[in-house]
Amino acid sequence: MIRLSALLVCCFGLSSTATANDAAEEFGSAFYTGLSISVVQVRVLNGAGKGYFGSGVVVAENEVITNCHVTRQAVRIEVAKGALVYPVFGQKADMSNDLCLLRTGPMPLRVAELRDAGSVKAGEKSFYYGYSGGIEAFFAPGRVATTHPHDGMAVIETSSGFALGGSGGGLFDARGRLMGITTFLASGHAGGYFAMPAEMIRRVRTLPERDVAPIDGLAIWEQPDTAQPWFLRVARMGTQARWQAAAELAGEWTQAQPDNADAWHQSGVALSRLDRHADALAALQKAIRLAPGHPQMLFHTALALSRIGRSDEAANIRNELALADTDLAGRLDKALENGGIPPAPANSPGCPRLDTC
């Protein structure tokens, strides 16, 4: 099996089947049935004869995208849709970004439309579809929590949950376009669910194809701490409640990338956890200037304002948040009633965001 970091885990293997079609009433069965036509199960056999599985999405004729951590031990790969099984003849691998593009036999399946990474916005609805649980496809509605700039694009953090077998599944928008490839989550459901941007698939297509064989290397979320992106390093410290260290590292991040709203946001969250609410507010206001209307940033700004007695301004921010994300506005109301302490979302296995629970 693969090496696991202290914060992040991949999601392929074996687990119990789960179902979640909470968005069926709003979007109708045809919507998520349409998503399912593009999603397949990826089956892997390693050199010792042991089988593993993950998920994949059809992104071109005879092409399936999945995570490299699903296929890296493989000596044989096949993709399946129900009783239909298709062999894989080669793959293109970007191990660092954990994306592997599989070349298959002809498949009569729908090709997913790719969405540009820069157009994905925090607060919009998201829908996971993949083989979490290993046997039946699993559907999970949610929202884009935030986006983390990375490698010229952005890693998507979402509340659309997935589990074992979900690696390589699709994160779709309300029009059924593929936004991201679900890749890793925070250990113990203590943090978010992360998807690599679908637009990155175009880069993977330019790589040389290799035969199906084991792959060397580590994904971004498996790298040593100092080699990981800023957002993962700060997130790990938050998960461990090391708020002073998180604040110091986030401060370095804002100096290194002063135009990165994510950096200022995470700095504000860490400072708030240290009860440095005036400093937190200054960082959060900088974040909002860089990313106007971002729901999570509005949420934390309202909390910071309330904690220093500026309740009227907090109420104004709350009204703005209600236009962007009614669920998060409801959580803000409860937090303000509870002395500024955010409650965990109902019916959740844990906190869906490292910095809100």
Q: Choose between 3 and 95: higher pLDDT.
A: 95
State residue 154's pLDDT score.
93
Confidence at 192, pLDDT banded by 50, 70, 90: confident
Q: What is the pLDDT of residues 154-166, one digit of tens each?
A: 999 999 988 877 8
Average pLDDT score over the chain: 86
State residue 32's pLDDT score.
78
Q: What is the mean pLDDT of residues 108-125?
A: 93
pLDDT at 28 over 60: yes
Q: What is the pLDDT of residues 157-191, one digit of tens each?
A: 999 988 877 899 999 999 999 999 999 887 644 45
Q: Which residues of 175-187 are buried (b: 16+ CB within 10 A; e: fewer)?
A: ebbbbbbbbbbbe
State residue 33's pLDDT score.
83
Q: What is the mean pLDDT of residues 118-147?
A: 87
Q: What is the pLDDT of residues 133-144, one digit of tens each?
A: 666 678 889 999
State residue 346's pLDDT score.
41
Q: Choose between 189 and 11: higher pLDDT.
A: 11
State residue 6's pLDDT score.
35
Percent of the chain with pLDDT over 90: 69
Question: Longest C-alpha distance within the chain, in Å?
Answer: 65
State residue 35's pLDDT score.
86
pLDDT at 126 over 90: yes
Q: What is the mean pLDDT of residues 125-129?
A: 93
- Of the candidates 201, 209, 214, 217, the one whose C-alpha atom is nearest the C-alpha of residue 91 is 209
* Range scoring the smallest mean pLDDT among 16-30, 198-212, 238-252: 16-30
* Range scoring the smallest mean pLDDT among 60-74, 146-160, 328-342: 328-342
d(CA 63, CA 163): 24
State residue 265's pLDDT score.
97
pLDDT at 16 over 50: no
pLDDT at 302 over 60: yes
State residue 315's pLDDT score.
93
Q: What is the mean pLDDT of residues 91-103?
A: 97
DSSP calls for 238-268: HHTT-HHHHHHHHHHHHHH-TT-HHHHHHHH
Residue reference for tokens 């995570």: 67
Q: What is the pLDDT of residues 199-229, one digit of tens each?
A: 999 999 999 999 999 999 999 999 998 899 9
State residue 351's pLDDT score.
30
pTM: 0.86
pLDDT at 97 over 60: yes
How many Cβ atoms sit within 10 Å of the Cβ of residue 229?
Answer: 18
Q: What is the mean pLDDT of residues 273-298?
A: 96
Q: What is the mean pLDDT of residues 309-330?
A: 92
Give the three-class secondary structure for 192.
coil
Q: Which residues of 99-122 are buried (b: 16+ CB within 10 A; e: fewer)?
A: bbbbbbeebebebbebbebeebeb
Residue reference for tokens 């659309």: 160
State residue 208's pLDDT score.
97
**In this structure, are strands 138-150 and 153-158 parallel, antiparallel, or unpaired?**
antiparallel
Q: What is the mean pLDDT of residues 72-101?
A: 96
State residue 348's pLDDT score.
36
Confidence at 117, pLDDT banded by 50, 70, 90: confident
Show Cβ contacts of residue 213 under 8 Å, excluding neighbours closer than 6 positions: 74, 75
